Chains A and B, each alone.
Chain A
């Protein structure tokens, strides 16, 4: 029986028929999705913190309005994704708990500090840019609610990347000090951005399973290469450089070669030892704890109103 279900399930996936929450699915598929979607959601939510840091200090009203709108979008992305994960049977509070206790992870990139205004430009250009590369293929992922959430997310992301590039473009036409600030921001964010695509691909049979389920459609290294190729060209428009002495066009491969990533740093940050891991989680937990009375009060009020309505009826 189980075997039959498994076969029907795989057959649907092969025929590009989306899996919906109430359809039968292998338990492992469900758990993999819960993990993946919730950790993606956490990344959107934690991702608001480094940029939120600059909202009050944006250099003009225009920039402040744009940054506010962008950060609000990221909150929305988190909410679309939490709601997609909930269709698989996990509750919102359980996901929050996994985040707050450190059991669930979020993208390592958000554990780096935002030191200057130019960081807002680089985050939009590189961090949102890398996120887009990851997310576009997810619009066709096999689980329906996740795919639909990603369609909404991707529609909104392109403004994020463009506003970031525009910030850098303006700085590139500015004073010597502004150009230095922008180049410094690029130097600090380039390598962590490449790490966003995750570790090098491995070829274990396990890996093949998630490809077979069409949760993921491109390998980490494929997407990373694509990102390098695009950015190596875009940075020329800015007149800045990427901090990699090994970055070189390879005629034969038709791609840019690039230097070795510091994987030790990557795993350190994932394991909680990045520059801002503690700060990010503390901010998140503080907001949750200090909001508890508001959540309780709203619920008490709703219950009271419901009772009054019942009594009047």
Chain B
């Protein structure tokens, strides 16, 4: 299949203008600061939620940068950072095998049970 994208986006002038064919994606530069994933608690009582990533030389700098990049408008009261290489993720290709068994266990949900209408507050 071969085609060229001719719809252009903000700041994007098409493949012919930058040779997207040679976009290579091997990591080559060892001097690059490591990548960190950022999690933010938006307010007291809520869970930390993933918001994105950034580069920093160490954890302290990652937290400082996360404050500037992700909380300029009081979006958070607490920040977690984890170096991206330490994140282990489930494999999306196995999603079916992983979550399917939950599908046929409807009895785990309260609506599965037929009770007489007279029963209140349950």
Number of interface residues of B (CB under 8 A): 44
- A211 neighbours in B (Cβ, 8 Å): 7
Question: Across the interface, do B17 and A270 meet the contact criterion of CB distance under 8 Å?
Answer: yes
Q: A73-B72, A76-B69 in contact; A35/B6 too (CB < 8 A)?
A: no
Q: Mark A83-105, 1 if CB is under 8 A from B, else 0.
A: 11011111111100010000111
Question: Across the interface, do A92 and B32 meet the contact criterion of CB distance under 8 Å?
Answer: yes
A72 within 8 A of B: yes
- Contacting residues of chain A (238-274) with chain B, CB-CB under 8 angstroms: 270-271
Q: A73-B72, A103-B19 in contact; A220/B11 too (CB < 8 A)?
A: no
Question: Across the interface, do A94 and B69 meet the contact criterion of CB distance under 8 Å?
Answer: no
- B1 neighbours in A (Cβ, 8 Å): 26, 28
Question: Across the interface, do B72 and A72 meet the contact criterion of CB distance under 8 Å?
Answer: yes
Shortest beta-carbon distance from A150 to chain B in Å:
10
Q: A76-B69, A295-B31 in contact; A43/B10 too (CB < 8 A)?
A: yes
Question: Across the interface, do B17 and A105 meet the contact criterion of CB distance under 8 Å?
Answer: yes
Number of interface residues of A (CB under 8 A): 73
Question: Across the interface, do A22 and B23 meet the contact criterion of CB distance under 8 Å?
Answer: no
16 new A-B contacts at CB < 8 Å, known A216-B7, A270-B17: A22-B89, A23-B92, A24-B93, A28-B3, A35-B12, A39-B13, A40-B10, A73-B72, A87-B53, A88-B25, A92-B55, A93-B32, A135-B10, A156-B73, A210-B6, A271-B17
Chain B positions within 8 Å of A, measured between CB atoms, are: 1, 3-13, 15, 17-21, 23-25, 27-29, 31-33, 35, 52-55, 57-58, 61, 68-70, 72-73, 89, 91-93
Chain A positions within 8 Å of B, measured between CB atoms, are: 20, 22-24, 26, 28, 31-32, 34-36, 39-40, 42-43, 69, 72-73, 76, 79-80, 83-84, 86-94, 98, 103-108, 131, 134-135, 138, 145, 148-149, 156, 196, 198-199, 201-202, 204-207, 209-211, 215-216, 219-220, 270-271, 295-296, 298-299, 301-302, 305-306
